[in-house]
Copies of this chain bind each other. A is one copy, B any other.
């Protein structure tokens, strides 16, 4: 079993009430891959520029992540995002975005990436997501993330991309916006009617909810007293969620999807404790399972 992810590989400059960092490693594919790497083999797909150093590749390699499909563009600049958060850490304010090498990105997956059993299409332009989906023919389970920008500017392509996946992960507001339906339960049904069998509604500090043909499941976020930087929480969630599912021997059942939601919640909770990848890059598997136990105990309702 293995998992391919395409998404941004970025340098992020982030300021929160708890500190700031300049040009640290980030991007949806990076946060996703680090989280998923605790559960399965991960192939990362995406472009970087000359400014992407061996140190960054080594960090990914140290978690066993295959970086063969990280395309280094000579003379190019790595995707750059600058943003900040006020005391309400649920809202990211974007101060600058420089597409760099992403502007001309044409995905070309190597054979190992094409044959992955699970595929995650991180939040990038939906035409690119569809191109990667068409190359990754071996995936038994494909999922995508997106954002309000693509709902507004590339809706038709996004809907076509959604038709090609089994699972969509979006935040509440995006699910409502995409389906033009203010009631989340109905909106999730409308989204499933487009093709996917599973919809995950990401809810920031309130956790995440799962809708599928069998019904509804929800988990709260971990009640952390230290949250320094929420950047990448959604991608860390997706990495824990899909990483765990990819590690299953057989087609995941209802209990497996719930446990995957729990691993997603746990990985997201570690991600936000420090800036960028600082916490997850030094995380150990034992910490993940200990926190999963805490989450189970925090949500257990006795008969």
Name A residues whose Cβ lies closer than 8 Å to a Cβ of B.
17, 87-89, 182-186, 189, 203, 205-207, 209, 211, 215-220, 223-225, 227, 255, 258-259, 262, 295-303
CB distance from A217 to the nearest CB of B (A): 6
Across the interface, A225 reaches (CB within 8 A) one of B185, B225, B297, B302, namely B185
- A299 lies within 8 A of B302 (CB): no
Interchain CA distance A189-B297 in the complex, whole Å: 20
- By a CB distance below 8 angstroms, the chain B residues around A223 are 184-185, 209, 211, 216, 218
State which of B88, B296, B300, B302 has its C-beta within 8 Å of the C-beta of A182. Answer: B88
Neighbour of A220 across the interface among B186, B209, B215, B259, CB < 8 A: B209
Closest 10 A/B residue pairs (Cβ): A218-B220, A87-B182, A206-B206, A185-B223, A216-B223, A185-B225, A255-B302, A216-B298, A296-B301, A186-B225
A299 B218 Cβ-Cβ under 8 A: yes
12 pairs of residues in contact across A and B, judged by CB atoms under 8 Å: A184-B205, A185-B223, A203-B206, A215-B298, A218-B220, A219-B301, A220-B220, A255-B302, A258-B300, A258-B302, A259-B302, A299-B301
Q: Which of A87, A224, A301, A303 gathers most chain B CB within 10 Å?
A: A301
Contact of A300 among B17, B209, B295, B301 (CB under 8 A): B301
Contacts of A299 in B (CB 8 A): 217-219, 299, 301
Which residues on the B side are within 8 Å of A301 (C-beta)? 219, 258-259, 262, 295-296, 299-300
What would 14 more interface pairs be, CB under 8 Å, given A184-B205, A209-B220? A184-B223, A185-B224, A185-B225, A206-B206, A215-B297, A217-B298, A218-B223, A220-B220, A258-B300, A258-B302, A262-B301, A295-B301, A299-B299, A300-B301
| Contact partners of A17 in chain B: CB under 8 A | 182
Which single residue of chain B is at the shortest CB-CB distance from A89? B182
| Minimal beta-carbon separation of A257 from chain B (angstroms) | 11
In Å, the complex CA distance between A273 and B298 comes to: 28
Give bound CA distance, A300 to B220, whole Å: 12
Task: Report the separation of the CA atoms of residues A301 and B296 in the bound assembly, to the nearest whole angstrom.
Answer: 7
Chain B, Cβ-Cβ closest to A208: B220
Across the two chains, which residue of chain B brings its CB closest to A217?
B298
Min C-beta distance of A41 to chain B, whole Å: 26
- A183 CA / B16 CA spacing, docked (Å): 13
CB nearest neighbor in B for A255: B302
The contact of A298 among B186, B218, B224, B296, by CB within 8 Å, is B218
Residues of B within 8 A of A220 (CB): 207, 209, 218-220
Bound together, the chains give a CA A227 to CA B182 distance in angstroms of: 11
Chain B residues with CB below 8 A from A184, complex form: 205, 223
